């Protein structure tokens, strides 16, 4: 694309998108009665943005509030929250396969530095193209220049494998086009005297065989001897590259809605076209126009009518099983009893502070049987579908009849506290429902639980255990709707 | 085989043997892997070096002769010494990796190719391969009490083929298998709760997708059958006599081995008994003094019990870790008599399922630091297990995006494989059957 074409394209995009919100691109406008309730909005949005449930007191006051702009305000405060940064850091960590050991072998110091680097950029909301530039043009020590861990997270560090991964991550392509791998042929690695420190550097003495590199069918870039060949590639990738922006815009849509406009979000092919091209173009334009601002695009999507419509609305939110980390953290938040996470690399083992949420582990080498059971991202590959959200009988078996979970509910200090404060069944049911499902119990539910309590004479505390067991086992709990 | 005799090239000869073995009839129905997580010291167990000097044998000067004349094992394993005619020792295992995760990956996938693809563990592969033919009530691949999660053992096959972790403590009064046996919740209580849940699910203000609703109903029904059915009896150790429980040893490893036998009796194709604590950089001999007698008893009990019940011929038993430990003792601080990781030469005990017993395969030098003959790489052992389980080691697996990939990418490759263990396959016996 020459400069004139770029200007023309940007102009067309600017004119066509002016004044429209995302909703005008939705083919079938969602009927008003599909608009979700405040309670549904609250839970859905907390889980989408932060991967956590709201505090019950917060849920109660949000539901009571009559402020007409409370949804927009909640979106803004959640996007600015630490919870959002933690969730996005985890999503990036999954894509970049951050792991101490096999197969990424970043080692704990590298993992920590890399996570901190990501977290800083996410908290500052660094423009996406700048963050990718910094990532791909990094060199230096894995401890001191954390972005270089990008080039270390490969069991086999060949230019072709690295280039394939860049194609997948930033251009959404599972197959590699062009000869761009040459741009990464100068990467080299050396150890230092510090344990597990590694320097990633550019060896400019690598001989040049072909100075003109075909990136795709219409683009060639020129490499000069003695310079870093990644620079012309990264310039091409991140400067006015619509595909680059569209892939991320679509990924953000996928993170929020549960289904990409191009789906899967890392499988862009000619024979896998977007389900709604004008919507994709509008999102891409919004993303570019706002300086590759990730959180601004999230805000735009979250405020749309289509996001705030019932799950299953055409083109809208897709109901899905909670991510493994979200299930585990929700159980920890509800019961007040967290799992102890241990890093076995290196010896002696490192114990994470008790109460560390699973979404903040930052290292797929650190795990637990329950996280594995619910299909936590392995970080072996960079595909979004590595999060296995498929429901299995074994997962329900765990929720139904695990002694571990039963003990957590029975011993829960949170439930002990509630039973002390709320002495009658009605109040207790309301508090527990706010805790686990972030809403008030319905009249029908009150009746069902009342009948159950009358049939099963037991202490209030045991009744609390049964309510929590039932709610944790409900479809409503295990899915984001 | 005939082709093999006429071709000098070792690689081709190996290939000829591999192809002749792939027609081998299935002799084994189940595999029990006793996994000594952390890496056991081969020189203190299955490959003693009593003549190597104190810098090598450390505090374990003695080796004892087994009931197979001329075969010696570590003196801390007297019970195993009495039944050496029931197992074979591989003293030439090698992969050369000294880091836990990578060694563990190599040892339980057989993959030394270093490619970008993460392979499934051989337990997951057997789970995958047997999913249609296995019809038992228990999951086909079970770990006592939890699998090693240092890498994602489902590999590219995905989560569904990972092991079912029992959790719980079989050495305690009641073995509480996660999800199956829950002493806190009586059957009536669970039934009451399930009835309550049904009502709650059907009146939820959030309308669930009908497909999800159906899935929940199906899984709940399946799980209730599972919880209330015979599955719990298989894990119930109170059905075993006290003498039997004592025979295995009243500790985690011993009772896990007893459960493993019960699982194999119930037809489970793959049981992983994982025992930790073998990573003895420090206090090595003190810890071995405690751990080796437990291992000796548990493994002896398992092998004799399987044999007495007529299950040994159809059950492959493997015992070893992700690597061995340095033959030379690290006397200096901070180790003060420890042993470090050693992937160059280590041992595995193998038995049953059609493997010839009473043999020694491979040999290390006087100090145990070099292999002198018959290197055995992980894929050679795993490929042999596949063969005995009726799975073609030269077969393929479906990858979600890469088409089909070889089941064992390292098999037949130089420095990653040295041929299947045809020396241990009793072809005579299998043709008789």
Rg from Cα positions in chain A: 25
Of B168, B184, B205, the CB nearest to A410: B184
Of B179, B190, B209, the CB nearest to A312: B209
Q: Which helix (H) or strand (E) holds B72?
A: strand B72-74
The per-residue pLDDT of chain B, averaged, comes to: 91
Domains, in order of start, for chain B: 26-181+236-386 (3.40.720)
Section B81-90 average pLDDT? 98
Name the minimum distance, in Å, from the CA of A1 to any CA of chain B. 32
Q: In this complex, do B192 and A398 lie within 8 Å of one another by their Cβ atoms?
A: no
Of A375, A396, A469, the CB nearest to B220: A396
Q: Residue B2: pLDDT band by 50, 70, 90 thresholds?
A: very low
With 60 as the cut, is the pLDDT of residue B409 above it?
Answer: yes
Of A156, A392, A404, the CB nearest to B116: A156
Among chain A residues, the shortest Cα distance to B153 is held by: A378
Section B368-389 average pLDDT? 98
pLDDT of residue B114: 84
User: Which residues neighbour A131 within 8 Å (Cβ) at sequence distance 6 or greater?
Assistant: A121
Q: List B residues 379-408 in contact with A (Cβ-Cβ < 8 A).
A: 401
Name the minimum distance, in Å, from the CA of B225 to any CA of chain A. 11
**How many beta-carbon pairs below 8 A join chains A and B?**
177
C-beta of residue A338 within 8 angstroms of C-beta of residue A321: no
Of B116, B176, B219, the CB nearest to A393: B219
C-beta of residue A132 within 8 angstroms of C-beta of residue A83: no
Q: In this complex, do B178 and A403 lie within 8 Å of one another by their Cβ atoms?
A: yes
Section A159-164 average pLDDT? 94
Q: Name which of A374-378, B11-15, B125-129, B275-279 the model is least confident about.
A: B11-15
Q: List B residues 305-344 in contact with A (Cβ-Cβ < 8 A).
A: none
Q: In this complex, do B223 and A396 lie within 8 Å of one another by their Cβ atoms?
A: yes
Among chain B residues, the shortest Cα distance to A366 is held by: B150
ipTM of the prediction: 0.92
Put simply, whether B7 touches A (Cβ < 8 Å) is no
Of A388, A401, A410, the CB nearest to B227: A401
With beta carbons under 8 A apart, name residues in chain B contacting A160: none
With 60 as the cut, is the pLDDT of residue B20 above it?
Answer: no
Of B139, B159, B206, the CB nearest to A40: B206
Q: Residue A17: pLDDT band by 50, 70, 90 thresholds?
A: very low
Q: Rounded to 5 degrees, what are φ and ψ at B127? A: -55, -50
Among chain B residues, the shortest Cα distance to A456 is held by: B192
Name the minimum distance, in Å, from the CA of A423 to any CA of chain B. 22
Q: In this complex, do A380 and B152 lie within 8 Å of one another by their Cβ atoms?
A: yes
Put simply, whether B51 touches A (Cβ < 8 Å) is no
Position with higher pLDDT, B136 vs A247: A247
Say whether B324 sits in a helix, a strand or coil.
Answer: strand
Portion of chain B with pLDDT greater than 90, in percent? 81
The per-residue pLDDT of chain A, averaged, comes to: 93
With beta carbons under 8 A apart, name residues in chain B contacting A367: 149
pLDDT of residue B6: 35
Pairing relationship of beta strands A479-480 and B346-351 according to DSSP bridges = unpaired
Put simply, whether A97 touches B (Cβ < 8 Å) is no
Of A156, A369, A383, the CB nearest to B167: A369
pLDDT of residue A11: 53
Q: List B residues 129-188 in contact with A (Cβ-Cβ < 8 A).
A: 139, 146-147, 149-152, 154-156, 158-160, 162, 164-165, 167-168, 176, 178-185
Among chain B residues, the shortest Cα distance to A160 is held by: B116
pLDDT of residue A99: 94
Of B102, B205, B219, the CB nearest to A442: B205
Of A101, A102, A388, the CB nearest to B158: A388
Interface test with B, best of A102, A160, A195, A309 (most B CBs within 10 A): A102
Highest mean pLDDT among A430-444, B126-140, B392-406: A430-444
Q: In this complex, do B100 and A161 lie within 8 Å of one another by their Cβ atoms?
A: no
Mind listing the pLDDT tens digit for each residue in B138-156? 999 999 999 887 778 989 9
Mind listing the pLDDT tens digit for each residue in B273-296? 999 999 999 999 999 999 999 999
Mind listing the pLDDT tens digit for each residue in B224-239? 999 999 989 999 999 9
Section B192-212 average pLDDT? 92
Q: In this complex, do B204 and A474 lie within 8 Å of one another by their Cβ atoms?
A: yes
Mind listing the pLDDT tens digit for each residue in A267-312? 999 999 999 999 999 999 999 999 999 999 999 999 999 999 999 9
Compute the C-alpha angle B97/B98/B100, nearest 5°: 100
Q: List B residues 56-115 in contact with A (Cβ-Cβ < 8 A).
A: 99-102, 104-105, 114-115
Q: In this complex, do B209 and A476 lie within 8 Å of one another by their Cβ atoms?
A: no
Q: Residue A8: pLDDT band by 50, 70, 90 thresholds?
A: low
Name the minimum distance, in Å, from the CA of B105 to any CA of chain A. 8
Mind listing the pLDDT tens digit for each residue in A129-140? 999 999 999 999
With 90 as the cut, is the pLDDT of residue A36 above it?
Answer: yes
Burial class (CB in 10 A: 0-12, 13-18, 19+), B349: buried
Name the minimum distance, in Å, from the CA of A208 to any CA of chain B. 27
Put simply, whether A72 touches B (Cβ < 8 Å) is no
Name the minimum distance, in Å, from the CA of B182 to any CA of chain A. 5
Structure tokens at A40: 């549904």
Put simply, whether A175 touches B (Cβ < 8 Å) is no
Of A174, A368, A466, the CB nearest to B401: A174
Pairing relationship of beta strands B63-65 and B72-74 according to DSSP bridges = antiparallel
Section A228-243 average pLDDT? 96
Other CB atoms within 10 Å distance of the CB of residue A108: 18
> What is the 3-class SS of chain A, one letter each residue?
CCHHHHHHHHHHHHHHHCCCCHHHHCCCCCCHHHECCHHHHHHHHHHHHHCCCCCHHHHHHHHHCCCCCHHHHHHHHHHCCHHHHHHHHHHHHHHCCCCCCCCCCCHHHHHHHHHHHHHHHHHHCCCHHHHHHHHHCCCEECCCCHHHHHHHCCCCCCHHHHHHHHHHHHHCCCCCCCCHHHHHCCEEEEECCCCCCEEEEECCCCCCCCCEEEEECCEEEECCCCCCCHHHHHHHHHCCCHHHHHHHHHHHHHHHHCCCCCCCCCCCECCECCCCHHHHHHHHHHHHHCCCCHHHHHHHHHCCCCCCECCCCCCCCCCEECCHHHHHHHHHHHHCCCCCCEECCCCCCEECCCCCCHHHCCCCCCCCHHHHHCCCCCCCCCCHHHCCCCCCHHHHHHHHHCHHHHHHHHHCHHHHHHHHHCCCHHHHHHHHHHHHHCCCCCHHHHHHHHHHHHHCCCCHHHHHHHHHHHHHCCHHHHEEC
CA distance B179 to B192: 17
With 90 as the cut, is the pLDDT of residue B424 above it?
Answer: yes
Name the minimum distance, in Å, from the CA of B100 to any CA of chain A. 9
Domain boundaries of chain A, sorted by first residue: 127-238, 393-480
Q: In this complex, do B180 and A397 lie within 8 Å of one another by their Cβ atoms?
A: yes
Q: Residue B12: pLDDT band by 50, 70, 90 thresholds?
A: very low
Q: In this complex, do B151 and A390 lie within 8 Å of one another by their Cβ atoms?
A: no
Q: How far is CA A87 from CA A83, B19, B66, B148, B171, in A?
A: 6, 51, 59, 27, 40
Rg from Cα positions in chain B: 23
CA distance A132 to A115: 15
With beta carbons under 8 A apart, name residues in chain A contacting B184: 403, 406-407, 410
Mind listing the pLDDT tens digit for each residue in A311-363? 999 999 999 999 999 999 999 999 999 999 999 888 778 999 999 999 999 99
Section A100-128 average pLDDT? 95
């Amino acid at each position: 694309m020459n400069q004139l074409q770029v200007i023309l394209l940007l102009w067309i995009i600017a004119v066509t998108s002016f004044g429209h919100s995302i909703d005008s691109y939705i083919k079938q406008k969602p009927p008003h009665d599909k608009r979700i309730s405040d309670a549904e909005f609250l839970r859905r949005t907390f889980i989408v943005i932060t991967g956590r449930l709201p505090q019950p007191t917060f849920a109660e006051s949000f539901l009571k509030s009559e402020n007409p702009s409370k949804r927009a305000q909640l979106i803004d405060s959640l996007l600015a929250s630490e919870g959002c940064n933690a969730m996005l850091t985890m999503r990036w960590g999954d894509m970049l396969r951050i792991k101490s050991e096999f197969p990424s072998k970043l080692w704990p110091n590298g993992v920590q530095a890399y996570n901190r680097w990501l977290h800083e950029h996410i908290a500052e909301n660094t423009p996406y193209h700048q963050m990718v530039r910094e990532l791909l043009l990094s060199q230096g020590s894995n401890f001191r220049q954390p972005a270089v861990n990008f080039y270390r997270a490969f069991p086999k560090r060949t230019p072709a494998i690295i280039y394939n991964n860049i194609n997948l991550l930033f251009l959404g392509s599972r197959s590699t086009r062009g000869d761009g791998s040459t741009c990464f042929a100068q990467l080299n690695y050396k150890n230092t005297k510090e344990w597990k420190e590694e320097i990633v550097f550019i060896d400019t003495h690598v001989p040049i065989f072909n100075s003109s590199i075909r990136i795709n069918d219409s683009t060639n870039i020129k490499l000069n001897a003695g310079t870093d060949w990644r620079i012309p590639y990264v310039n091409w990738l991140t400067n006015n590259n619509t595909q680059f922006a569209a892939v991320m815009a679509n990924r953000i849509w996928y993170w929020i809605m549960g289904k990409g406009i191009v789906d899967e979000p890392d499988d862009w092919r000619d024979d896998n076209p977007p389900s709604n091209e004008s919507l994709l173009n509008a999102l891409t334009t919004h993303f570019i126009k706002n300086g590759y601002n990730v959180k601004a695009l999230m805000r735009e999507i979250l405020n749309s009518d289509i996001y705030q419509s019932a799950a299953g609305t055409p083109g809208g939110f897709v109901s899905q099983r909670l991510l493994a980390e979200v299930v585990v953290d929700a159980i920890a938040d509800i019961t007040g009893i967290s799992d102890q996470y241990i890093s076995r690399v290196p010896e002696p083992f490192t114990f994470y502070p008790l109460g560390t949420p699973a979404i903040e582990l930052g290292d797929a080498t650190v795990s637990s049987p329950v996280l594995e059971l619910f299909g936590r991202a392995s970080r072996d590959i960079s595909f979004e579908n590595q999060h296995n959200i498929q429901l299995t009988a074994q997962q329900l078996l765990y929720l139904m009849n695990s002694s571990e979970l039963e003990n957590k509910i029975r011993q829960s200090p949170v439930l002990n506290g509630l039973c002390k404060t709320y002495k009658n069944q009605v109040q207790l049911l309301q508090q527990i429902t706010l805790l686990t499902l972030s809403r008030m119990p319905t009249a029908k539910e009150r009746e069902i639980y009342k009948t159950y309590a009358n049939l099963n004479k037991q202490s209030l505390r045991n009744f609390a255990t049964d309510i929590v067991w039932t709610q944790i086992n409900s479809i409503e709990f295990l899915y984001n709707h | 085989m005939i082709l093999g005799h006429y071709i000098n090239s070792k690689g081709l000869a190996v290939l000829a043997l591999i192809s002749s073995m792939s027609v081998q009839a299935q002799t084994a129905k189940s595999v029990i892997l006793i996994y000594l997580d952390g890496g056991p010291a081969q020189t203190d167990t299955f490959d003693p070096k009593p003549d190597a000097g104190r810098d090598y044998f450390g505090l374990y000067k003695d080796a004892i002769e087994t009931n197979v004349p001329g075969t010696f094992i570590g003196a801390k394993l007297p019970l195993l010494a009495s039944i050496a005619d029931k197992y074979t020792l591989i003293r030439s295992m090698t992969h050369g990796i000294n880091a836990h995760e990578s060694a563990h990956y190599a040892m339980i996938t057989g993959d030394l190719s270093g490619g970008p693809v993460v392979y499934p563990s051989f337990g997951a592969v057997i789970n995958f391969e047997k999913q249609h033919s296995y019809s038992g009530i228990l999951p086909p691949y079970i770990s006592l009490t939890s699998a090693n999660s240092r890498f994602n053992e489902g590999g590219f096959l995905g989560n569904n083929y990972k092991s079912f972790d029992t959790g719980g403590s079989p050495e305690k009064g009641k073995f509480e298998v996660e999800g199956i046996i829950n002493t806190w919740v009586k059957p009536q209580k669970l039934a009451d709760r399930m009835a309550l849940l049904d009502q709650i699910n059907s009146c939820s203000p959030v309308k669930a997708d009908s497909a999800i609703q159906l899935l929940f109903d199906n899984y709940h029904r399946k799980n209730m059958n599972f919880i209330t059915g015979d599955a719990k009896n298989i894990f119930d150790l109170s059905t075993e006599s006290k003498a039997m429980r004592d025979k295995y040893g009243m500790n985690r490893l011993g009772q896990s081995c007893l459960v493993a036998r019960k699982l194999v009796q119930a037809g489970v194709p793959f049981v992983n008994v994982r025992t930790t604590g073998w990573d003895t950089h420090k206090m090595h001999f003190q810890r071995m003094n405690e751990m080796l007698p437990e291992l000796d008893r548990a493994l002896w009990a398992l092998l004799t019990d399987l044999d007495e019940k007529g299950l040994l011929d159809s059950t492959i038993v493997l015992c070893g870790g992700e690597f061995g430990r340095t033959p030379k003792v690290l006397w200096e601080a901070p180790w003060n008599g420890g042993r470090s990781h050693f992937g160059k030469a280590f041992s595995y005990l193998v038995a049953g399922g059609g493997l010839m017993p009473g043999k020694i395969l491979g040999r290390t030098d006087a100090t145990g630091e070099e292999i002198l003959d018959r290197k055995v790489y992980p894929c050679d052992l795993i490929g042999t297990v596949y063969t005995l389980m009726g799975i073609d080691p030269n077969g393929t697996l479906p990858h979600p995006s890469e088409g089909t990939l070889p089941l064992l990418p390292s098999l037949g490759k130089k420095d990653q494989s040295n041929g299947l263990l045809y020396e241990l396959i009793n072809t005579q016996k299998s043709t008789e059957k």
